[in-house]
Amino acid sequence: MKKQILYIIVVVLGVVLGTLLGLHIVKMKEKTIKSGGILLKGYVNIVVYDKYGRVRENMTTPLHSPTNNFAILLAVIFEPHQGDVHAAYSVTDVGGTSRIICTSYDLSYSWDDITDTPRWYIYIGNASSPTFSRDKYNLESVVAKLRTTDPGYYVSSDKIVLVINSEAWTADKDYTITEVGLVLKFEICDSTDNNYAYALMFYDILPTPITVKAGETIVVSYKLVLP
């Protein structure tokens, strides 16, 4: 499990560094032209199935959405060791509370001490007019917290692809989905073992709202592609 999580973090770090190191991207209609560096792509895919299991709607939208929390997580991972507890920083959990996140030789402190699965969740929401901010710590109006399956990835000669899929979720009534987010479950850096919190790492506003009717099912995926 830790190997999978580190793989995810390295791939996503590539997305962030690609932006910070001066990647120049020009978009013209459906074509994307790159000059210098490597073009790193991210997508959110949302599929809605009707009551009979048929695909009623399938949306894929570009992903450019890491939050401040994700930057802090990267700092925790790459900070040098400083004794038994090191790289201690504060993230804001989905309730708006500041939580210490750290890596430690004592797993009761370490952020990655998760004894059950999943580690990642995908939240979906129906805010009427959501707005993006790096300071976002939760969706504006959460409809459901979708569990995820084990992350999948494959490597070919021309690209690396990482996919985090949600489990299928069936709506109890009609919802208009306007926002989604990738949320990390982590161990709080304190003396209490199995003391977990949840932090929003990616936040995305859909370009067009998606309606999920009562009895219909939705699956959401986060995908990262490195050509």
In a domain, 175, yes or no: yes
pLDDT in tens, 18-40: 433 333 333 333 344 444 555 55
The Cα–Cα gap between 166 and 151 comes to 10
Residue 9: inside a domain:
no
Domain with 66 in it: 40-226
Report pLDDT for 179.
97
Q: How many domains does the chain have?
A: 1
Q: And the tokens for 175?
A: 């919802």
In whole angstroms, what is the distance from residue 172 CA to residue 12 CA? 34
Q: Tell me the per-residue pLDDT of 158-210, one tens digit each, with 9 for 90 and over.
A: 888 889 999 999 999 999 999 999 999 888 887 777 788 999 999 999 999 99
Note whether residue 75 is domain-resident: yes
Asked whether residue 184 is domain-assigned, the answer is yes
Is residue 12 a part of any domain in this protein? no
